[in-house]
Amino acid sequence: MVNLYTLVLLALSQFVLATGQVCLKHASGSDARPVSDGLVRAGWYSVGIASMASWFFIWLHLMRFFDLNRLFAFEGLSPLLVAGASALFLEEKISARAWSASVLIAFGIVLVALF
Amino acid sequence: MAKTVKSVAAVSPNKPLSPDRSRRVIKNRWSPVAIVILNAVLATCAEVLLKIGAMQTLSIRLPGPIAFVSAVFSLWVVLGIVAYVGSLFLWLAALSHLPLHLAYGLSSTVHILVPLACWLVLHETIPIGRLVGMLLILAGTLMLGFAHK
């Protein structure tokens, strides 16, 4: 059932999913930018895990309004959103090839969910 | 923090690499990718184990509102949870060596592996539309994997 409420919930679920992944990435650091401070790392992990838990419960709530396969089709958005969030908040350089690959994956997930 | 792995970008393009060093660079390049793929394999195992556990008739059943917790008395469900926890640790390990957009994209292989596992283990069918979707995901993850420097 698509209405304003479910659309807002869908957008929120994808937003907290991307937020959670960005926070977990911040916590994990990278070869170029390692996270050394234990407290800072614990903070990022906490926010990341809390975001992922929020995503899980919003997703569970959304299952009351959509058939599972229809709901999973919306998960196709997540590779694109996570790529966008990585570019915005983690300053990752995403090549045109990587964007194209993300679009292919997104379409693939939608097809897998719908059939 | 896991031991830092030197990235390929850190290797000067002008200096020829010794065979030993080239092997190390290739290993360093693909190890995090292998960890993401292993994470997807474990997550797939978890899904299948949970599905098998959910279909079992349990001998122990808790009453009323906590009846859904009875599932933890199934060995399959416990194994599924262990596999999920393992895949989470692998995900966190991979994140420290790969850009997020790349790791997340590669982890989409789980959408290929789950239908394949369901077909192989649970004898579920794969409609042609889903097969096309799986091929698109495969093409996308291969593009991402080879874009990784």
Q: At residue A55, what is the residue type?
A: W
pLDDT of A42-63, one tens digit each? 999 999 999 998 988 888 888 7
CB proximity under 8 Å: B 22-51 to A = none
Q: How many CB pairs below 8 Å do chains A and B form together?
A: 121
Contact B136 A111 (CB under 8 A): yes
The answer, yes or no, to whether residue A90 has pLDDT greater than 70, is yes
- Residues in Cβ contact with A58 at an 8 Å cutoff, skipping those fewer than 6 apart: A9, A12, A13, A16
In chain A, where the domains are located: 4-114
Once rounded to an integer, what is the mean pLDDT over residues B102-112? 91
Q: What pLDDT was estimated at residue B128? A: 93
- Residues in Cβ contact with A75 at an 8 Å cutoff, skipping those fewer than 6 apart: A109, A113
**Residue A51 at interface with chain B, using a CB cutoff of 8 Å:** no
pLDDT of B56-104, one tens digit each? 777 777 777 666 667 777 888 889 889 989 998 999 888 888 899 999 9
Lowest mean pLDDT among A7-21, A32-46, B95-109: A32-46
Q: What pLDDT was estimated at residue B1? A: 39
Residues of B in contact with A111 (CB under 8 A): 129-130, 132-133, 136
Contact A83 B4 (CB under 8 A): no
Q: Provide the residue count of chain A.
A: 115
Q: What pLDDT was estimated at residue B97? A: 85
